[in-house]
Structure 1
């Protein structure tokens, strides 16, 4: 039997797994990035942005999406490349976030952009245990409804 590695399909959905979002973006993208599970409810996006300056990067969090935009300033000096392996072109990368996933911080060091995320589920939406009574509570409820 042949198995398929679906790991590349998980890269645009952070904090949840939905089939529709997996099929949404399965192509390689620029710039390269990693999505890491740091803790139980903590995530990190690490983007390799060689050639970019901090002032050329914009990060926006809107509802359930995170948008990272890089706009490279035009080089004032004319250069002749014998080989050009560092792309350093404009980009826009979108990440779909699950409910209650929030961006907590971002840092840029040595060409690597680190975006920290955390899932904060409100107490009212967390699963809770329901106690099983001996049946006496049911009779009390039935008496109240009859009145």
Structure 2
């Protein structure tokens, strides 16, 4: 079922954020930092999409992805965790990123209000699942994936 203007949905939200990005940004010149972020964003998008999710937005050095839009799957929480595991492995293996980035992950499932920006084709979601995933990510140790029950 595609999301029309606005509706309530049960989705799984994945937040991924770089640990220590402020210090890294002070150490690198802006072009190099931008190059690292572009690689990180590319890996994140590939991992999320490969597991049936959608990147909702990039926020600075954070990635917010949603699983369950436009179509829900019974295993959306598993898909989100699998995407986080793949992202973690790919970043650790990447020659440019390895040793320079550490990522923290938060995953939460719950009800949100989802709307679609028809002009951009993007989903916008609001709700507690988003807030919980963000808080879990903030509490996670580098490379850890914290998920709500």
Under a length normalisation based on structure 1, what TM-score does the superposition of the two structures give? 0.29
- Give the number of the structure whose alpha-carbon radius of gyration is greater: 1
Under a length normalisation based on structure 2, what TM-score does the superposition of the two structures give? 0.28
Q: Which has the higher helix share?
A: 2
